[in-house]
A and B are shown apart, each in its own frame.
Chain A
Amino acid sequence: MEKKSVCEEKNFELIFDDCSESLRNIIYYKCGDLNLAEDIIQDAFVKLWKNCKKVVFYKAKSYLFTVANNNLLNHIAHKKVVLKYEQKPHTELNDQDPQFIIEEKEFMAKLKKAIDNLPEKQRETFLLSRIDKKSYKEIAEITGVSVKAIEKRIHYALVSLREKLGDIL
């Protein structure tokens, strides 16, 4: 195992580069509040810096996640989550008839709502995988659970989405 010290600024920045975005997203997927998510990860990184001697380099990611997660628990009494996304332009839609475009928009709205309604852990895992393109192993590393558990969460998230959207598919 590498013996990089988190206390060295270049190593600290390496960790930041590597995982600050996905951490921000995890917290965002959990709480649906972008500003809160960024505040929380900033605090987590500052705490990592303060405790840099106690944290081993390769454990830093899961440390950050744990700190951010605990911090989040202090903040919210589980409000209803409504996530917002940047949406990629739908190339196929450009030349379609207006009826189809409307149906497509409705579907997207329902899909988003269905995702919002997933249990928190399924939601964060599913989105980290599908949007952030993180491998199951990486997600397992960050959240500190087994790959198997991640696979189950993904599986059930998808089953759940399929059920909720069943009537319009």
Chain B
Amino acid sequence: MSYVSKPIRKRDAMSLVTGKPVYTGDLCPAGALQVCLLRSPHAHALVESVDKTAALRVPGVVAIYTWEDVPQSRFTTAGQTWPEPSPYDRLILDRRLRCVGDPVAIIAAETEESAQKARQLLKVTYQVLEPLLDFTKALDNPIIVHPEENFRALCDVGTDAARNLCSQEEMTVGDVEGELAQSEVVLERVYHTRANSQAMMETFRTYSYIDEYGRLNVVSSTQVPFHVRRILGNALEMSRRDIRIVKPRIGGGFGAKQSVVSEIFPAFVTKMTGRPAYICYTRQETFTNGSPRHEMEMRVRIGADRDGTIRVIDLFALSNAGAYGDHGPTTIGLVGHKALSLYGTLKAARFGCQVVYTNTMGAGAYRGYGATQGIFAVEAAVNELAAQLGMDPCLLREKNMVRQGQIMATYYNEPCNSCALDRCMEQAKKMMNWEEKYPRKVLENGHIRSVGVAMAMQGSGISGVDIGSVEIRLNDDGFYTLLVGCTDMGTGCDTILSQMAADCLECDLDRIAVRGVDTDQSPYDTGSYASSTTYITGMAVVRTCQELREKILAMGAKMIGVPVEQAEFDGRRVFVPGGKEISLAEIGSASFEGHNHCLSSCISHSSPISPPPFMVGMAEIDLDPETGVVQVVDYAAAVDCGTVVNTNLARVQTEGGIAQGIGMALYEEVNHTPKGRLINDSFLQYKIPSRLDLGTIRVEFESSYEPSGPFGAKSIGELVINTPAPAILGAILNATGKAFHTLPVKPEDVAMALLEDKK
């Protein structure tokens, strides 16, 4: 029996579908202090004074902390490998408030009601400052978001706080201006994407307590337990050896929980009071002070010849870090590297970027991590170029797309060892019946049916940085324990890593007990982000199993008294063909009996390359020219994630990512009041797709084989959010001739654009 490439049920599935108490909020001990935060009503202000007198009189209030009470070392909450590229620009509570919702005070009380009542009674005097809200005017603005002296950047990412500059970068390949000058057609466009919210169903939440050894234990809904341990050490000025992080089941993350959003507050309360403490962010707080996608403005210049040869792409991105630089310097890199590298024929390419501070909510990591924004801009521009050339946008891509065997000059010169993008295009066209549907049909009811296309890529882990480790132990009746440090957040990595281990060890899946994550017990893993888990941690599983097999073979051979070279291991027994044998259960049991060694292996894996998965997405829309309403009636996706490890889970990842991408394209608005308060701070105003908003989403896999990946696998999780926005806008362009450049495209935008024609 083999498990890889099968639709295996998730190992925790039945607990989840029967509603077992497995999430952070379900596990919090009774009697924990309830923690809430008083948040700033101003986008930019200084705290003059906080009068706690009345608040402290509320029965049940235990403690109220303000900026004077917290450690004064700056840190970043970005869950990244040290030294983090994100500047150290935060305090737990700061006297300077840099966005609406910045925390002013931490309130801990016996009950939620007491905490909330005390919050209402805190009297704060603010010195209100003029906010810097427009990120296009942030650079060298007289309003400085981070004037503090102890601001520091650990990495050289071009940070200059005095200029509101979080980071900058430039990459040039070939003679960009020369190629543009020689191009027969040059298209220049500016695109704008918003600070989308991950909107995972479980909001940020954490509880903490002091254990029997006197150590701070933090149980949290996080994607990055080991980073949380280090960051809490920084923030609380505590030694890391005194901190333990446990990750239970997580109710979704999508990158939101790659930042330390909620952990610090209860941890600080527990450190100060010695008592268990719990914080649960409201949905509103999750919207207003979470870790959303970086808002970006991207200028694209494409130079091409009339036959459709794309010669050069010049891309400049301005990114809004907001109040804090979490993930600012790193998301921006993907804008260029992942978008430009889709085109293998470029003679020249340039990517420039600036990430700036403003007085809006600090951004973070959201599935796609910059690639989503960059691919939207480049793919939308390529669709416009196709229209301008009068060429089928699929054909234009077929002429120019990256192909297996090429060196990707804009992708750190990595070789493209596994790429089925060409086959994905072929497959998607077949699925969509593109030839017949392109560009549009007008239905009897006046609606327009049209199709649009986009390509996408992502990485598989961060090359040379991400580390995945697993430990596998053989136990006394021949079953294995698989300890992982990566975080299953619903994606199913506990299951797919078990599948790989079962195949490598040639055993039944139920002989592998999987467990993650506890920083005291799990082997180190950077965490589940950057599409790393299948590719990086998966390879750690493969290598660990290889080593463990050798140990089992050696011990088995010794036990039956034959030279190891003559013995074989088939997953159930060590044997000499036609001769003596000993079962795995006997080997396992013997290793527990005092005269032998317990058999276990633990190998860490890192990769010098980050092989991209690829895909083609095609949207078929129904557009009502009277109302401007656009409905995605069908979405066809052909995906090359290398070997598909779990056919069900990869499919659901793809369907879910596409749904989020459709939301980004058509529904998910992010607007602020003139004073900087986020308006779209609930599911009433921030509309994520419901069942009624989505038509069919169809997925097929066109696998290449990645030689450096486990079983030939690459990544899937982030890639799949990248095609809907450009594909849908491409379909709108094909339906109406109207090109839109700002997301989301709302019915009123379409209707108004069409009205202009009637004038």
Do A and B associate with each other? no
Chain B residues close to A by CB (< 8 Å) = none
Chain A residues close to B by CB (< 8 Å) = none
